[in-house]
Structure 1
Amino acid sequence: MFKRWLSAGWLLLAICLGSAPIVARADSDLDHALATAPQGIVLDKTNAFVTTETTKKSSATVMDGKNEATPGTDVAALTSGTHQFGSLWSLDAGSFSLYHDQTISAWLYLGDQGVKSAGGVAFVLQNDWRGIGAMPVKSKDAIPAETVGVWGIDNDRHQSQPKALAETAIQNSWALEFDTGYNGDWGKSAVGQANAFDGAEHGPHIGNNFPADPRTYTQRVFDKGLLNHKHYYFNMVHHGVIEDVNHPDFLANGQWHHVTLKWDYRAETLSYAFDDRNPITGERQPGRHDEARVFPFMLDPHKTGEVRWGFTATSGSQAENNLVILENVPGLVSANADLTATNLSQARELTTNGQVLGGDRLQLDYQLKYVDGRQPWQNILANLALPTAFTPEAITITYQDAHLPPQTVSVRDVKDHRLSVRLREALNTANRQATVRVVGQVDTVTACTPVAPVTSTFTSTTQTCAVDSPKYFINPHADLDLKVTSDNPAKLAAGTATTVTGTVSPALTGLRVKPVLNGQALPDVPVKDGQFTLPLTAKQLQGGTNNLVLRAVTAMGDESAPVTVTLAVAGELKFSTVSPQENFQATRLTGQSQLVKRAGQWQLAVRDTRGTGERWTLTAAATPFIAKDAHGAQLVGQPVYVTDYQRIPILTTPTAVYSHVTDDSVADGEVDVAGGWRDDTGVLLHVQSASLSGQYQGTITWALTDAPQ
């Protein structure tokens, strides 16, 4: 038999560095999800705007949240078992207008199966003729998990045309999927299995496209070689992908995830933010963002200006709890909430990281504002979370309409710093604003006491608004004020000493400053005539960021608010070890695509001395591999970077393959990238079936950027 061999010869690896581009289990999981459910709206059947009663094939149902801190929350359980499909759709009364700006916010729970998940959840806009009965349809069998309840069904090995596949999806639709499963089969194993949409590029991810558009699907062919008999399967084109290479279980991690979707009708774009609120505290956080161009003519062929919106979900061979909590119904009510905290004793507003004294009187004004909508904002339940170390003395609710009398609330209704009270009046165009005012006193303390932010919510059957109280500090009545007079922040050259100076008032006798540098306590510094000086040697300072926390302390133990001084000692991001030349294993060509393993001990390590919290991303680019002999053929294939959950092609354009957040406490900021590779992960060579035998050589260029990609 004729044998072909391939020897991937030496590689020249160039370095580029720059700062510019620098079970019972399922039940317990459900119990946990319901017990930790964030605040959402009530899914009212008598005045319904959405429904889970969509089709006989749907397993969706509505459950009561079990979190005492979020009363009145309904949870739409789209799937809770194996091989299920579930859907929640808006009714005509809750339709989505394409000709107005819209906002939808919700909480998603995607199970706790991590990378073992198979399905996920999708947010969908659609005008399918089946209405609330819309779903992927091809046979009476269970809907495959990879469809996430909206994409086409790819289980027919003889189906060769993307158009036929697209016709099995929800029609006239756009979808944003939260895909917890990795559908990455390829070749023979992908044929007829409905498990190849993710191809070789994506592990668990968020992405979007048009399910009924044939251009969403890319045909792949498996040629059996016998009588030219071909079988087909499809990959899916993903847009606006959000994923986490280092934490592929970032979706199905047993936590609630907040999602905000904003439609800009003039730009015809829908932006989405994921994890933009803390699921425990409700506080706002940066989250991850992207946006999509959504063409109305692809959703609304009859130009009605309206689409149906909702969520679909699927599960695979393992039970998955795919749950949704809605915070609003778009277009019905547009409203917002705000909080103003005022220190009445000091006659000034209390803002984030502000300071109060024990015994000060505070006024908390929770302001609800009706902007517009097709209905009034009515039957509003206020769930107030009051700050700790605060005792309320009076609570009133007033309305903008002067003809409406104030609503008095008893302070005895406050339990464990929480109060639930229903507003007596609705908000509308004639009565746009209500203010819930809480007046009380700050508790006395013996030492500086931080008060963490807490989240209050205002919810109804159509809208939920959340507002955070500011983080602040309670000082003992001594009211010490420490100020730093030297540079803060300060930038220092490597090997440089510095001196931190400051003042403390009032200038009491026996005052001292307690410094803590990078978590290590330093000797106390005496305060003389209200001034202090703290010298720091170069040996005490580490490369990168140094945090110096200062507190002034009296002889009686009273403390000032902490003051942080940031000292940045110049550090650098660089490769500490890179192989200048390496090889792949000599391999016999089989006529099939294959992955060729590395030969030898590849070296690739990065050292970051810029400080804890600094981020960097490793990118790779490769030239085409060219045969060394006379024919000079180009290899049909390319290097790939393989992890447990994805395979990233290394092409001529630099591609992010690894990201890291520096921790100085681990190996002094050094990361051995190649040391973490197994034989079947890291850099491998993907050789396709059409490759010719020969010795090939090419160049892989590694680069570092000082920000995640």
Structure 2
Amino acid sequence: MKGHHKHLIGYIFISFFMLFANFFIPLTTVKAEPVGLPLNDYMVIDTPTIINPPNGTNYFNKNTASIQNEDTAKLTDKAGQIVKEGGLLVKNLYTLNRGTMGAIWSKDSDTWDLSQVQQISAWMNFGPPDDSSLVNGEGLAFVIQNDNRGTKAIGTGLQGLGVYGYDLTTFPSASPTPPSPELVTLTAVKNSVAIEFDTNLNKAGEGKVPTLIHYKDLLIDKSEEHYTSNGFDSDIGIAGSTGVNLLPNSYLGLKIPGERGWGHIAFSLPGNENSYADVFNGSVPTSYSKLKISTGMSLFHSNATVANLIDDIDYFGKPVNWHHVTITWTPDENLLAGTLSYVYNDKDEHGINNTNKTTDNYFKRVESSVKVPMSTFDVHNGDYNVRWGFTGANSSLGQLDADGNETGSEKVADKYVKLETLPDSPNPIANSSITDNTLNKTITDQSTDNNVNSGDSVDLNYEIKHAEDNNKTSDSKILPDSQKPSWKDIVAAIQIPDMETYLDFRQEDSPNTPGQKRIGYIEYQDGTQDDLLVSDVSLTSGQAESTSTKVAINSRLVTKKLSKDLDNTDNKITNVKIFGTAINKDLKDHLVQKAPVYFNGSNAIISTSSPEFNIRYEKNWSLMAKGLEENYTLRFQQDNPNITLPIELSYNPEQKFVPGDELIVDINIDNEKKIESKINVTGNDTTEKIEIPINETIFDSASDFWNTFSLEKNNPHRIEITVTDKDSKVSNNVQFFVEVIPDKTLRVDASKSISFKNINYSSKADYIHRQDDGYVKVTSRNNPWQLRTRVVKPLTKSNDNEQFVGSLLYIDDDQRSALDDSPTLIEEDNHSYSEETVKTISDTWKDDTGVILKQTGLNEAGQYVGTLEWSLADADIN
């Protein structure tokens, strides 16, 4: 590149005094309880076949379960009654302290197919917290069994939970008959696996006493006593020993680290002799030995886990009454075993999914699984259909006072179960989302941006599917969920959160019925629709709850029966859409809570919830942006290119910024490259200064940066910036200009004047030397150069234009050149310096070198002025 950098030589004045030259240069409603399936259609409560052990009588002989309100299995009946009898020579005969127990089993038409994936979901209620084993014991169990007694199978009460055996010690005479694993197993549910939800710790040991179940007091002598050691969860003696021929990770007693609280969940094999063992192992506690009881039976538990069954609380410290559980059986392909798993507290009483797996102080999700051998169930001849159900027991410990009177028994909590799905039910899926049509975005539970603006068009969306898609291979014996029966008689019950106050229905013309307005629709796989009308809406009220806050609200309930079932062929997916408008007339944002949604079918019930979303309050002001500088320069392909564009933001009318609020910066370069950047507000004043960095980090690569900031195309480049705040207020457009120059420097600088010494009139001196040197310097980077000079205007007398008799010379060690109107090479440098380098040419001038004035004749007195031009050009280094 050739560049002429012109700098005028100032005027040279000749007078009596001097001669000089110059050089110029951005409601949910609390439900009373969940809904369950009609139990009489699928389950049966039968009169049990009671097995008496050879060492005594089994006084746990009654199934107290009942069905309440069609959908609730009540497994127990308070504390039970003390049976008091008499007779000849009999002073007193008591049967006491046995509580009540119950069992409910699947009908023959609703068995559990061990050769297929099976799943049920249920709600369980263990009673209110009372910090008392009398009130809170004992618990319930989910059981899969192949007992020959079928629906008449039952275990024992108290610690037996209606499924385990009776650890009976009898005193028919002075010599006691202790229990053994074989005797305990006789009274248990056979060929079974259980998941126990145990609300009470049953521990034998020092300070504990065995529980008297029955005694007969003769007039002559006490002749018969029946005891249970009440020690299935014991942690004394050989507790913690590992089991043999049992489930993996099985330990005697309850081997759980840390605080055990009011409950635990564990797997077990109730009908396996190896599940029971004498925990005392010869070291009998004093309180037992003085009653001549030498054996304390304990139970092997697998994967025992702490769980709050009784004293669980929700996010606000409110007791949780109903606990949801999902239980799944997944067989191995070879059908030699299967995996039994559970997820406890997987959703709350309002149907809202629970993801809390870590926080112990409220409503914790608990899950576990275990591998179960198929031999557990004693199935034969390819028939893998077995029975399943729930058993439960409550406590009556301490129900007699010192005088033998019953006390406190009315407080004993019963155990309840509701079923949501069955093993052969479809396994439907429900999802939800919110669409903001105004902002063109979708909000789900996973969304990090859940903000909408007041006045936005907002739709509530619910998708239900017959089953999740499975990827089973075609040769698998295990059928996918999609092969399960149709989901029938579905009724949608959709709660609309914060209705009327913060969300209002938006009515649209129905395309299905001319002249009819609708508030939403149900759309089936074939495209047909059911309209949702205002008549489908009812009003409810209550309190909305979420992890964030708790507020009193009104809520609308949309109820509609679907006109089509869901199946695995013609109607796999159905979508529900409800039209709404977001409203917020407050002076602060409003968080709309999750609201539960139920889809109640005759053979399956599922629930989901609408996502939380935040309605931003109306902000009737505009965002203003002002650029604080306008023009910038970049050197082409320089290292680490960076420019910072300062912008000042303000609101009109005046408002303060909030520290931490996110601003979205949209950068448009030459209408060809668009980049979005995010920054946060730092101050809380009425103005906010932000700095927008333009560097390689916001581009895909360095080449992308320089392709955008080309040296040739669109140069200088125009950058347009708009800023959007968290309320979607968009600023005006701010423009900046960036000139890209070669990555070189070549510059000449000279002083404004060079003055020569005065001479007298008629002086005949040949050379007139400089009175001051002035300066001439060259700055270069990555650019070899040549410096030249020429006379633009000869030295001329200022008052009559008479030229000076003589000439300007440039003298150095290598040359002696007369300066005229042709450029004369003064200096050159063929080096290319990586850093800016300054070379001052005039530093080498001496008295008789540099720019010298030569007189060749007589000159009249006066002031002489002339002009020199200095020019730089690229050096030709070839």
Aligned residues: 461
Q: Residue 687 of structure 2 corresponds to which residue in structure 1?
A: 528
Q: Residue 530 of structure 2 corresponds to which residue in structure 1?
A: 407
Cα distance per residue 1:12-45 (max 9 Å; x no partner) = xxxxxxxxxxxxxxxxxxxxxx9731233333x3
Alpha carbons of structure 1 residues 248 and 431: separation in structure 2 relative to 1, 3 Å: closer
Is 2:178–2:293's contact at 8 Å kept on the other side of the alignment?
no
Cα distance per residue 1:381-402 (max 9 Å; x no partner) = 1110123222223221221135
State the secondary structure of the residue aligned to 2:466: strand
Structure whose alpha-carbon radius of gyration is higher:
2
Displacement of 1:125 in angstroms is 0.6
CA distance in 1, matches of 2:31, 2:593: 22
Is 1:123–1:175's contact at 8 Å kept on the other side of the alignment?
yes
Displacement of 1:444 in angstroms is 3.6
Alpha carbons of structure 1 residues 282 and 167: separation in structure 2 relative to 1, 3 Å: same
Displacement of 1:115 in angstroms is 4.3
Q: Residue 235 of structure 1 corresponds to which residue in structure 2?
A: 298
CA distance in 1, matches of 2:621, 2:116: 53
Alignment partner for residue 466 of structure 1, among 602, 607, 616? Answer: 607
CA distance in 2, matches of 1:208, 1:310: 15
CA distance in 2, matches of 1:104, 1:503: 60
Is 2:127–2:310's contact at 8 Å kept on the other side of the alignment?
no
Alignment partner for residue 261 of structure 1, among 315, 327, 345? Answer: 327
Q: Residue 282 of structure 1 corresponds to which residue in structure 2?
A: 352
Q: Please, what TM-score do these two structures have when normalized by structure 2?
A: 0.48
Are 2:116 and 1:100 aligned?
A: yes
Are 2:433 and 1:340 aligned?
A: yes
Displacement of 1:420 in angstroms is 1.7
1:648-667 pair list within 5 angstroms = none
Alpha carbons of structure 1 residues 254 and 335: separation in structure 2 relative to 1, 3 Å: closer
Q: CA RMSD in A?
A: 3.6
Is 2:453–2:727's contact at 8 Å kept on the other side of the alignment?
no
Are 2:464 and 1:368 aligned?
A: yes
Q: Equivalent pairs: percent with the same residue?
A: 25
- Counterpart residue type for residue 137 of structure 2: A
CA distance in 2, matches of 1:183, 1:445: 57
Q: Residue 391 of structure 1 corresponds to which residue in structure 2?
A: 504
- Counterpart residue type for residue 425 of structure 1: K
1:300-699 pair list within 5 angstroms = 300-302=378-380, 303-317=382-396, 318=409, 319-351=412-444, 352=447, 353-371=449-467, 372-388=482-498, 389-392=502-505, 393=507, 394-402=519-527, 405-415=528-538, 416-429=555-568, 430-446=570-586, 447-478=588-619, 507-508=651-652, 510-514=654-658, 525-529=684-688, 531=690
State the secondary structure of the residue aligned to 1:263: strand
CA distance in 2, matches of 1:373, 1:41: 21
Displacement of 1:101 in angstroms is 1.8
- Counterpart residue type for residue 345 of structure 2: D
CA distance in 2, matches of 1:259, 1:159: 38
Alignment partner for residue 208 of structure 1, among 267, 270, 282? Answer: 267
Displacement of 1:458 in angstroms is 0.6
Cα distance per residue 1:391-445 (max 9 Å; x no partner) = 223221221135xx42222123222321121112111232222222211211243
CA distance in 2, matches of 1:161, 1:253: 40
Alpha carbons of structure 1 residues 312 and 244: separation in structure 2 relative to 1, 3 Å: closer
Are 2:166 and 1:153 aligned?
A: yes
Cα distance per residue 1:238-285 (max 9 Å; x no partner) = 11111169x984499662111121222127211212222122463323
Displacement of 1:479 in angstroms is 8.4
Alpha carbons of structure 1 residues 172 and 395: separation in structure 2 relative to 1, 3 Å: same
Displacement of 1:515 in angstroms is 5.9
Alpha carbons of structure 1 residues 366 and 481: separation in structure 2 relative to 1, 3 Å: farther
State the secondary structure of the residue aligned to 1:189: coil
Structure 1, 318-327 or 218-227: larger mean CA deviation: 218-227
Are 2:19 and 1:42 aligned?
A: no
State the secondary structure of the residue aligned to 1:232: coil
CA distance in 2, matches of 1:163, 1:481: 83
CA distance in 1, matches of 2:345, 2:621: 39
State the secondary structure of the residue aligned to 1:321: coil
State the secondary structure of the residue aligned to 2:455: coil
Alpha carbons of structure 1 residues 504 and 171: separation in structure 2 relative to 1, 3 Å: farther
Cα distance per residue 1:514-573 (max 9 Å; x no partner) = 5699xxxxx9821424659xxxxxxxxxxxxxxxxxxxxxxxxx9959xxxxxxxxxxxx
Cα distance per residue 1:618-671 (max 9 Å; x no partner) = xxxxxxxxxxxxxxxxxxxxxxxxxxxxxxxxxxxxxxxxxxxxxxxxxxxxxx
Displacement of 1:91 in angstroms is 1.1
CA distance in 2, matches of 1:505, 1:132: 76
Is 2:168–2:179's contact at 8 Å kept on the other side of the alignment?
no
Structure 1, 453-462 or 165-174: larger mean CA deviation: 453-462
Displacement of 1:340 in angstroms is 3.0
Alignment partner for residue 209 of structure 2, among 189, 195, 205? Answer: 189
Displacement of 1:346 in angstroms is 2.0
Alpha carbons of structure 1 residues 95 and 249: separation in structure 2 relative to 1, 3 Å: same
CA distance in 1, matches of 2:369, 2:531: 45
Is 1:507–1:530's contact at 8 Å kept on the other side of the alignment?
no
CA distance in 1, matches of 2:66, 2:622: 57
Alpha carbons of structure 1 residues 475 and 282: separation in structure 2 relative to 1, 3 Å: same
CA distance in 2, matches of 1:528, 1:513: 7
Are 2:352 and 1:293 aligned?
A: no
Is 1:480–1:506's contact at 8 Å kept on the other side of the alignment?
no
The answer for unaligned runs of 5 or more in structure 2 is 1-29, 49-60, 80-98, 171-176, 212-226, 236-252, 255-259, 357-364, 397-408, 468-481, 508-518, 539-554, 624-645, 662-681, 692-724, 729-878
Q: Residue 257 of structure 2 corresponds to which residue in structure 1?
A: none
State the secondary structure of the residue aligned to 1:298: helix
State the secondary structure of the residue aligned to 1:278: coil
Structure 1, 52-61 or 235-244: larger mean CA deviation: 52-61
Cα distance per residue 1:338-361 (max 9 Å; x no partner) = 123211122221234511111111
The answer for unaligned runs of 5 or more in structure 1 is 1-33, 65-72, 137-142, 483-501, 518-522, 533-557, 562-709
Is 1:357–1:479's contact at 8 Å kept on the other side of the alignment?
no
Is 1:110–1:322's contact at 8 Å kept on the other side of the alignment?
yes
State the secondary structure of the residue aligned to 2:183: helix
Is 2:350–2:596's contact at 8 Å kept on the other side of the alignment?
no
CA distance in 1, matches of 2:37, 2:434: 27
Displacement of 1:97 in angstroms is 1.4
Cα distance per residue 1:360-381 (max 9 Å; x no partner) = 1122222221123543211111
Alignment partner for residue 343 of structure 2, among 269, 273, 288? Answer: 273
Is 1:268–1:296's contact at 8 Å kept on the other side of the alignment?
yes
Alpha carbons of structure 1 residues 145 and 253: separation in structure 2 relative to 1, 3 Å: farther
